[in-house]
Amino acid sequence: MLNEQIRKTGESRGFAVSRLLTHWAEIAGADIAAIARPVNVGYGRGGFGATLTVLTTGAQAPMLEMQKERLREKVNAVYGYNAISKVRITQTAPTGFADGQVQFQYAPVERDKPKPDQVAVAEAAKAATGVESDELRQALERLGQNVLSNNKTQGKGT
């Protein structure tokens, strides 16, 4: 319902691909998304790539500065070409520009863990029988469950 409004607002700030705003934590990674957020994409006069402006706190700016090239590569992967030629970092206080604003953090992405496939659980337990070490047997069971579950979801399983 909000896709059109998000797209218009994003385009007004230079975001041709609104996915950069809506999926920032997935694109930048949880570590970068926790300390920074995109605020603008500006295009120069020559048209040779754009500048992504990223907002962070003063304390996190040096850490983000070291990761600028990696961040640029991740963002360009979303665009599908080298759209971003430069990443600029701006700083603000942890609570924004005025008193009483919300904390400068993204809400953590909560993902529902899929329930384990009971057939995979049983097959993994059967395969790990005979292992005397409890820790090793449990680790093998978890590995077997993951392998069997991934194979079935990707159409490679039996």
Domain of 22, CATH number, reads 3.30.300
pLDDT in tens, 21-54: 778 888 899 889 888 988 888 877 766 778 888 9
In a domain, 102, yes or no: no
Q: Is pLDDT larger for residue 155 or for residue 58?
A: 58
108-150 pLDDT, tens per residue? 555 666 677 888 888 888 988 988 888 888 888 888 888 887 7
> CA-to-CA distance for 91 and 75, rounded, in angstroms?
20
Phi/psi at 107 (5° precision): -70, 140
- Residue 29 has, within 13 A of its CA and on its CB side, a CA count of 10
The pLDDT score that the predictor gives to residue 14 is: 47
Each residue's pLDDT tens digit, 84-107: 889 999 987 655 555 445 455 555
Q: In this structure, is residue 111 part of a structural domain?
A: no
88 and 34 in a common domain: yes
pLDDT of residue 81: 80
Tell me which residue range forms the domain holding 53: 3-92
